[in-house]
Structure 1
Amino acid sequence: MIKQLIRTSLLSCATFAVLSGCSVTEPVSETANLKSKPSQNVPKNIIMVVADGMGPAYTTAYRNFMDNPSTPEMESVVFDDILVGNASTYPAQVSGYVTDSAAAATALATGVKSYNGAIGVDVDKQPVNSVMYHAKRMGMRTGLAVTSQIVHATPASYIAHNESRKNYNEIAEDFFDIRVNDNFIADVMLGGGTTYFKREDRDILAQFVEAGYEYADSYSDLDAIPVGSNVLGLFAPVALPAVLDEQRKNRLEYLTKNAIKHLENENGFFLLVEASQVDWAGHANDIGSAMAEMHDLALTMTYLREYVEANPDTLVVLTADHSTGGLTIGANGDYRWSPEHLKAMSASVLTIALEMASEENPGEFVASKLGFSLSEEELATLDSVSNQDDETRFNAVKAFLDTKTNTGWTTGGHTGVDVEVFAFGAGYQSFIGQIDNTDIAKKIFQFIEKKE
């Protein structure tokens, strides 16, 4: 995983069938903390938010991270007011009980369980169409805003069909080649991935521009695009930088606002938003980036709460595809978690590890980037690894933060736990209770079908 992270840093499903047998769940009870009340049960606009890798421990950790220690109470965060239930995440039986992002995204996008690695195909590798495909077929505007490359597993499953999530070039081609009534599936696509769209063998970027899409490769260019345009915005060769390394600390909120600006119309819209890099922080067991990516998501959800207050005919659903890393708040029998050591970080652990090798006083450099002072012993320990390879330095800084915060991890992969479901706005009651990840797509299909 570290090698993939370093490379990324240095480079900086069958036709849809109406699911008439799946009735919309009636509300079990009113949610006491839910502040947004829907004005109607069938939404005009649907915003699906996926926080990749965000198991329940991440939302608890974020609440602790944001707590004001000078007050006796634990302050609530945006996630607390919108929690409505849980979802199971297991893939098709052939892949066991623990899902990957591709099978989970296929389930969330199409309502069909598939094998790990599948992008918009069933267990027989036959195409299954997504809620985004159906929204476009029904005349809605559609889009996505993600912090990964837009051909990564989650966004890909809403548009493409491929037997393997690793076939990024073929997935990029599907973005252009798969049509709905001669229209592209997505009107707005914001994220990373220039490498896959501008290639020697096929310049898909140029094809989109020739087809009338506005193109942006910087946030300032995105700002200048006329409202209501079809937009392809690719802001990095592969994924966007970690939010700790970005000048724009609300990058997901920013992309979400811009996507909505171009999607709003009388027929409604469907938007996929993904906080992609919560998962990557979990794979790397990097608690600093995990909390920073969660904060970027929280800013986005706060904005969406405000949007729904002004546009009560909009539904927002947030869930995770799975949990990553086996994050534990407290470790080694010590009943302590100290998130204060994460609050002043000015760079990701990866960037710190890459840059400390060229510093004359590496320990002091690390301290300056972490934002707190270190003891002489801690400085000496960090100095001692400065001449090691990138992976060794990365692991050393990461382990140092884990020790300071008393954070634990059980794996560098995924776990099979249920994930939380959050919803607010028109029709949110349909997501209350214990459901399966496929139920989310099935309910959205029904909403799209009932719009008119």
Structure 2
Amino acid sequence: MKQALAAMALCLMCQVGGVAAAQPQSVIYFIGDGMGMEYLTAYRHFADDPATEQIEETVFDRYLIGSSATHPHGHELVTDSAASATALSSGVKSFNGAIGVDPHKEPVETLLERAKKLGYSTAMVSTSQINHATPASFAAHVDSRQKYDEIADQYLDNRIADKPWVDVLIGGGEQYFKRESRDLVEEFTALGYQYADSFAALESIEKAPALALLAPKGLPFAIDEPPANRLAIMTTKALALLPKDKPFFLMVEASEIDWCGHANDIACAMAEMRDAEEALQVLANYVAAHQHTVMVATADHSTGGLSMGSDGVYEWRASVVRGVKASANELVRKLQEAGNAWPAKWLELTAIELAPEQQTAIGPLVDALLGAETTADKNNAKTQLRAALLAVIDKASYTGWTTSGHTGGDVPVLAAGVDAEQFAGYQDNTAIAKKLFTRLHPVK
């Protein structure tokens, strides 16, 4: 089956738009996890300069060229990140939870793997753990995204010419690579990979191959902990490490837009969008300066059912969102630390004046957290307080949400570089991969 799929992909030059040139192209694939169209719209207003009359365009606006469907294989219609990333990486629809396998759980060839076979350098960058669903779907093959240890093992154990498929890995996830049962970091370094476990150490890495695991799991939210432009830093380093004398395949994921969307945390989500925009600008600058390079950016799905406007009010107050300086989780932690002085800390971190009835409602929730004795009681108190704080922010900004999960709408497609117009208009997510396969050619 692998051979049949490879042959099918090679024939795509004949089937997809006739833009494949003999010159091998470097391919940059940017995925904003959870970044539905409504996130681009909200971010445009969030990032707008209120001192000017016009609404300034964002980097997302500048390269927006089309849209993509996201549904998985079967009848569920709403995808998870694994099925969607498998479609984006291989051009094959699969089931929710699938990592680089088809509906029959058979491995499918990915763009990264094809590129490596053809002599390309390869790299993956992610703000989540690097073995999370989206990056995993480019370099591993398992039937469940939850098999984090197995995915990490495959990054090392799956080889081509006795070397791992990915030359540069930068993200979180150290706890999955340095385990009691196996130390993958030690094994990677034995193969010549330079290793970093912090942003300071990342600066000192000089060449590929390289592995950087910058957090135990996912990186802290951009709104909570510097560097706020962490994805741009990681992306810049990946580009610098890739050899200059041959083409490359680079996948970059802005992972935590999705996580903030699951939490229905608008300020967190907008900070992740800013982080994503800064990385996208780094990539766009690279494409502008290097011919024979194409960049495509899209989302795997949208998350949370975000709406600008709620409660029947025709308004969205971006200024309120700009005033919030911490994620909901961090707000809970800071209010707990402040104790009875929590109202002042709340005002400092959000600039939102609480109405008397809001302060009366939140006070007992803070007290419950302060008085909780068991872990279960503390977690329950945190959950209730977090929900109450987010409700205040949403009410003040007129932000709406429909779900804590994913939604099934189409997502944006952005493109730049060689024949970027090939990605214009509506397309299925599998079509993006099929078009990108035609850009990969043997490196001479």
The answer to whether the superposition gives a TM-score over 0.5 is: yes
Q: Is the 8 Å Cα contact of residues 119 and 443 (structure 2) preserved in structure 1?
A: no
Q: Distance in 2 between matches of 1:322 and 1:184?
A: 29
Structure 1-normalised TM-score? 0.90
After superposition, the C-alpha distances for 1:132-153 in whole angstroms (9 at most, x for unaligned) are 0111111111011100001100
| CA–CA distance in structure 2, aligned partners of residues 404 and 43 of structure 1 | 52
Cα distance in 2 for residues equivalent to 1:332 and 1:212: 57
Is the Cα contact below 8 Å between 1:364 and 1:379 reproduced in 2?
A: no
2:338 aligned with 1:350: no
Is contact 1:141–1:265 with CA below 8 Å preserved after alignment?
A: no
CA offsets, 1:362-388, max 9 Å, x none?
Answer: 121122122455455544443332123
Note if 1:153 corresponds to 2:141.
no
Gap change, CA 1:404 and 1:43, over 3 Å in 2: farther
1:426 to 418, 426, 432: 418
What corresponds to 1:393 in structure 2? 385
Partner residue in 2 for 1:32:
none
Q: Structure 1: state its 5+ residue gaps.
A: 1-12, 28-39
SS of corresponding position for 2:65: strand
Alignment match, 1:173: 153
Contact 2:267 2:326 in 1 (8 A): no
Which residue of structure 1 lines up, in the alignment, with residue 39 of structure 2? 58
Question: Counterpart amino acid of 2:223?
Answer: L
Is the alpha carbon distance of 1:110 and 1:380 closer, same or farther for their aligned partners in structure 2, counting shifts above 3 Å? same
Counterpart check, 1:100 vs 2:80: yes
Contact between 2:197 and 2:214, CA under 8 Å: does it hold in 1?
A: yes
| Aligned 8 A contact 1:103 1:119 in 2 | yes
Measure, in 1, the Cα distance between the counterparts of 2:431 and 2:330: 40
Bigger mean CA offset, 116-125 vs 374-383 = 374-383
| 1:182-331 alignment, distance < 5 Å | 182-226=162-206, 228-331=207-310
| 1:86 equivalent in alignment to 2:67 | yes
In 1, the alpha carbon distance for the partners of 2:307 and 2:85 equals 25
Q: Tell me, what secondary structure is at the counterpart of 2:109?
A: coil
Higher helix share: 2
Cα root mean square deviation, aligned: 1.8
Instruction: State which of 423, 438, 441 in structure 2 corresponds to 1:449.
Output: 441
Contact 2:24/2:442 (<8 A) preserved: no
| Residues in 1 aligned to 2:244 and 2:123: alpha-carbon distance in whole angstroms | 13
Tell me how far apart the structure 2 counterparts of residues 79 and 310 of structure 1 sit (CA, whole Å).
Answer: 19
**Is it true that 1:411 corresponds to 2:403 in the alignment?**
yes
CA distance in 1, matches of 2:316, 2:113: 44
Name the aligned partner's letter for residue 142 of structure 1.
Answer: T
The answer for the alignment partner of 2:29 in structure 1 is: 48
CA separation in 1, counterparts of 2:72 and 2:330?
34
Change (3 A) 1:342 1:213: same
Residue of structure 2 aligned with 1:119, choices 90, 96, 99: 99
Structure 2 partner of 1:437: 429
Structure 2 counterpart of 1:400, one-letter code = V
**Which residue, out of 43, 56, 73, partners 2:54?**
73
Percent identity between matched residues is: 42
Structure 2 unaligned blocks of 5 or more: 369-380
Letter of the 1:422 counterpart: L
The corresponding residue for 2:374 is: none
Equivalent-residue separation in structure 2 for 1:335 and 1:159 (angstroms): 45
Q: Indicate the SS of the match to 2:439.
A: helix
Shift of 1:21: 4.0
In the alignment, is the contact (CA less than 8 A) between 1:92 and 1:115 conserved in 2? Answer: yes
Does the 8 Å contact 2:246/2:443 carry over to 1?
no
Aligned match of 1:340:
319
Aligned residue-pair number: 426
1: CA distance, partners of 2:267 / 2:33: 16
Going from structure 1 to structure 2, the CA distance change for 1:41 and 1:283 (only over 3 Å counts) comes to farther
Contact 2:28 2:294 in 1 (8 A): yes
Indicate the residue corresponding to 2:115 in structure 1. 135
**Deviates further, 387-396 or 151-160:** 387-396
Normalised to the residue count of structure 2, the TM-score between the two structures is 0.92
